[in-house]
């Protein structure tokens, strides 16, 4: 199995980038050289030619001085903050699977571990006959699911876990991220997911505005992942 993780979420805006950055910090603390990757990012604004959006920059900062370039982290950068296939169509572009896989393999050869952050949810379309699940399956990495703790998260998390299983990928763990500070029965929801997801809860993040992923890294148990390259 490749030394890496694919980070997906129950929806957009649930903290995938925060979780991915925290994972990078936690794995680096174990002595690994970690390459972050977000193969497709939408929402670069103008001009796209600057080569990065906020997520890409955050991932590069988490990786430290040996980080890959922005272009290596995000080979497909789209201007508009829309579903990737729509944003790409507006620019007259088409997202293809092979270049994304090749970009991942280039990082995998040079770093100890790769943390790949998906875009949107697990089934978000990337092109007419391609979605994020196809990309995850092609990379063949274990999946970490970020669950945004808010009303409806049980259904979203369980459906996403079913999609991950259909892609024949292991659900290596999940992270509970408090995105709604007023959510009722948050502990009970976490307990319900712990009973049903069939994967370890590797971390729980409290609601913090402008959270620092370096501080959240201490809340993650990455001991099982740090052994992957050994």
H or E element in which residue 22 lies? helix 16-29
> Considering the entire predicted model, what is its pTM?
0.94
Query: How confident is the model at residue 1, as a pLDDT?
Result: 44
The answer on pLDDT for 47 being more than 80 is no
Average pLDDT over residues 182-206: 97
The answer on pLDDT for 2 being more than 70 is no
Q: Around Cβ 155, how many Cβ atoms within 10 Å?
A: 10
Annotated active-site residue 16? The verdict is: no
Average pLDDT over residues 172-182: 97
Q: Which two tokens stand for residue 49?
A: 């030619």
Q: Which pLDDT band holds residue 49 (cuts at 50, 70, 90)?
A: low
Hey, what domains does the chain have and what are their CATH numbers?
A: 4-226 (3.40.50.300)
Q: Which pLDDT band holds residue 127 (cuts at 50, 70, 90)?
A: very high
Average pLDDT over residues 168-185: 97
Phi-psi region of 33 (alpha: psi -120 to 50; beta: other; left: phi over 0): beta
Contact yes or no for 4/106 (Cβ under 8 A): no
Question: pLDDT digit string (tens) for 203-226?
Answer: 999 999 999 999 999 999 999 998
Question: pLDDT digit string (tens) for 90-112?
Answer: 999 999 999 999 999 999 999 99
Q: Which of 6-10, 53-57, 95-99, 131-135 has the lowest mean pLDDT?
A: 53-57
- Rounded to 10 degrees, the C-alpha dihedral 192/211/141/112 comes to -140
Average pLDDT over residues 184-198: 97
**Residue (of 114, 112, 113, 123) closest to 145 by Cα position:** 123
Question: pLDDT digit string (tens) for 141-168?
Answer: 999 999 999 999 999 999 999 999 999 9
Q: Which pLDDT band holds residue 46 (cuts at 50, 70, 90)?
A: low
Chain-centre distance for alpha carbon 221: 16
> For the packed helices 54-63 and 16-29, what is the interaxial angle rounded to 10 degrees?
10
Q: Which of 48-57, 127-136, 181-190 has the lowest mean pLDDT?
A: 48-57
Average pLDDT over residues 48-55: 75
List beta partners, residue 41.
Answer: 77
Q: Which pLDDT band holds residue 178 (cuts at 50, 70, 90)?
A: very high
What is the per-residue burial (b if ≥16 Cβ within 10 Å, else e) of 156-190?
A: bbeebbebbeebebebbbbbbbbbeeebeebeebb
Please pick, among 16, 30, 38, 227, the residue that the annotation labels catalytic: 38
The answer on pLDDT for 230 being more than 50 is no
The answer on pLDDT for 48 being more than 70 is no
Exposed, middle or buried, 138 (CB in 10 Å: 0-12/13-18/19+)?
middle
């Amino acid at each position: 199995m490749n030394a890496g993780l694919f980070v997906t979420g129950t929806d957009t805006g649930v903290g995938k980038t925060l979780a991915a950055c925290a994972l990078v910090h936690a794995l680096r603390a174990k002595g690994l050289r970690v390459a972050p990757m977000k193969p497709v990012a939408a929402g670069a604004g103008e001009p796209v030619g600057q080569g990065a959006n906020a997520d890409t920059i955050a991932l590069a900062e988490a990786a430290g001085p040996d980080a890959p370039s922005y272009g290596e982290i995000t080979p497909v950068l789209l201007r508009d903050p829309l579903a990737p296939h729509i944003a790409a169509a507006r620019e007259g572009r088409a997202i293809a699977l092979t270049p994304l896989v090749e970009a991942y393999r280039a990082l995998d050869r040079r770093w100890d571990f790769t943390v790949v952050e998906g875009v949107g949810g697990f089934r978000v379309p990337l092109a007419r006959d391609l979605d994020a699940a196809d990309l995850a399956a092609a990379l063949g990495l274990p999946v970490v699911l970020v669950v945004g703790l808010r009303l409806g998260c049980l259904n979203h998390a369980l459906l996403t876990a079913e999609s991950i299983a259909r892609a024949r990928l292991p659900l290596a763990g999940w992270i509970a991220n408090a995105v709604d500070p007023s959510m009722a029965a948050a502990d009970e929801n976490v307990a319900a997911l712990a009973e049903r997801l069939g994967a370890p809860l590797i971390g729980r993040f409290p609601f913090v505005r402008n959270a620092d992923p370096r501080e959240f890294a201490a809340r993650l148990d990455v001991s099982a992942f740090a052994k992957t390259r050994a």
